[in-house]
Amino acid sequence: MASAMAMTPSTILLIGKEKMVGLLHKQHAMSERFISHMLTRNIRIEEDLVGQFFNSSEKRLARTLLLLARYGKQHEPARVVPKVSQETLAEMAGTTPSRVDLFLNKFHKLGFIEYDRELPLKINSSLLRVVLQD
């Protein structure tokens, strides 16, 4: 069993396997949404694994920040990342907190983010350049 931490107020609903199977068979709209969610989740996991092998920790951190800011979603990106520690960012990007600190300072100097330890982190769309560069 894994653990998780919510970054925003959340409500968690636990549904047993048998009940879920019944719901998926009876409610086709829910079944379609659930399958779509699971496929999206699996694609994201595969992308993360490929990223661990082929991308630098700098690119992985940039991608993590963009995902937290919801870049690439249909609606406007959030731009402000929920308050998250450097330790958590390091775990998410597969690197160390000291490397996260180094890269956050670098991204700030280059104007990719607005960063102050006391304020929420703001992501500028220019951070995409880090992810897209070869």
**CATH number belonging to domain 57-134:** 1.10.10.10
Contact of 116 with 54, CB cutoff 8 Å:
no
> Which SS3 state, helix, strand or coil, does residue 81 take?
strand
pLDDT in tens, the chain (134 residues): 677 777 778 898 889 999 999 999 999 999 999 999 999 989 888 877 776 777 688 888 998 888 888 765 655 656 777 778 889 889 988 899 999 999 999 999 998 888 777 777 888 888 888 877 76
Q: How far apart are CA 20 and CA 58, in angstroms?
A: 40
pTM: 0.63
